[in-house]
Amino acid sequence: MTEDPAVPVFGREQIRRARYAVAAVFAVHGAVTGSFATRVPWIQDHASVSAGQLGLALAFPAIGASLAMPLAGSVSHRFGARTALRGLLALWTLALILPALAPNLLTLCLALFVYGATAGMSDVAMNALGVEVENRLDRSIMSGLHGMWSVGALVGSAAGTVAAHIGADARLHHTLAALVLTALGLVACQGVLDLRSLPDEEAPPRFTLPPKSALVIGAVGFCAVFAEGASMDWSAVYLRDIMGSSAGLAAASTTAFALTMAVARIAGDKVVDRFGSVRTVRVGGFLATAGGLLVVLAPGPALALCGFGLMGLGVAVVVPLAFAAAGRTGSNPSRAIAGVATITYTSGLIAPSAIGSLAEATSLLASFGLVTVLAFGLVLGAGVLRAGDRKVAESGAPRTAPDRTPAEG
């Protein structure tokens, strides 16, 4: 069987190195987020903004990401996958410097808009390359890549915690962190696959609506990210206000959720390879639903804590598999991934406020009833992720999107 000349051909060792390079990129991306999150109190004080104003400013990263992510496909088309990722990741790591420099609310909003826009574009670029590597390896790696993002976020937050503990100025901390992470990112990008569009390929539009396939896949990601955002931001409050737990046990609920998510993502690829995307997400949906029911029906904080852990375990691999499925639908993987990313970012943006609004109108118990219903949506919608399972051609080589060619030299 003759190979399609439009499909890039890379050596096994080159693909293996590319996998580790993309994993390092994910870790660097996560480290920026972890570094920023730990210094938000310092940034709030420096900009002299109230809690309400800070909440407004913190909406701008998601706004910037949602508006900029569709541009990632055009950047990759023009410059090639490696060069695009190198540039976008460097912009993201250097954007870490901006929020700490903001002296007031207006400049903070602008800084966070740029911060979110660069985050979103680099996110799309690295996920698209992750899917390309997964195609060529013919085994799941997306869950592990997102697990590496979590590891990077933990490292960045640990360093930020130390900086905050010793009273370091966030402007100095974030400048040093940005320079180190930029250097690490540039080194990591050297090893990713250098894919380029075909000479006669039409450039994708700068702004376009997501394809229908991305909307359907994104709906599943929406359910998972909504449950994730609600649990991360409200689990401690739930245990304290509804279960009457101590402050320490309440804080442990967030840790339990984050820990089970990280562990499940790192181990998730082996599960996906054995059982496939659909069954993995369906079982995860049942676990997340059981966790939500345990949270809502638990007579005491210990069982509710277990419920949050189950929810983290259940939703952990959904977003990586949603990106993988999007990257294998249609003729423009970057556009589909950008569409799914936009939907999941939106879900993460509205989940905390939606839970708070519903809790104010009814109760926090009812809010987590909604989370449980959305978790069950993973069971019902898992079938749309079937595209996430790798399609193998008769020759035994994994199929890849026919819109890329390897760079010469």
Q: What secondary structure letter does DSSP report for 70?
A: G
Q: How far apart, in whole angstroms, are the C-alpha atoms of residue 310 and residue 406?
A: 43
CA-to-CA separations, 294 to 120, 285, 308, 356, 384, in angstroms, rounded: 34, 14, 8, 20, 27
Contacts with 28 (C-beta within 8 Å, 6 or more apart), sequence order: 89, 93, 152, 181, 184, 185, 188
Q: How far apart, in whole angstroms, are the C-alpha atoms of residue 36 and residue 177?
A: 10
Q: How far apart, in whole angstroms, are the C-alpha atoms of residue 203 and residue 222?
A: 29
Q: How far apart, in whole angstroms, are the C-alpha atoms of residue 385 and residue 399?
A: 17
Reduced 3-state DSSP string for 277-298 = HHHHHHHHHHHHHHHHHHHHHC
Phi and psi at residue 338, in whole multiples of 5°?
-60, -40
Q: How is residue 210 written in tokens?
A: 């997501």
Q: How far apart, in whole angstroms, are the C-alpha atoms of residue 282 and residue 42?
A: 42
Q: Is the four-CA dihedral 253, 259, 262, 266 of positive or negative sign?
A: negative
The predicted structure's pLDDT at residue 206: 55
Q: How far apart, in whole angstroms, are the C-alpha atoms of residue 27 and residue 152?
A: 4
Q: How far apart, in whole angstroms, are the C-alpha atoms of residue 125 and residue 117?
A: 13
Going by C-alpha positions, the residue among 131, 127, 148 that lies closest to residue 266 is 148
The predicted structure's pLDDT at residue 8: 53
Q: Average pLDDT per run of 10 along the chain, which is 409 residues long? A: 46 85 95 87 90 82 86 83 94 96 96 94 91 86 89 86 88 96 96 74 58 84 90 81 81 74 88 92 96 93 90 92 82 75 81 81 90 95 78 36 40
> Is 219 buried (19+), middle (13-18) or exposed (0-12) by CB count in 10 A?
middle
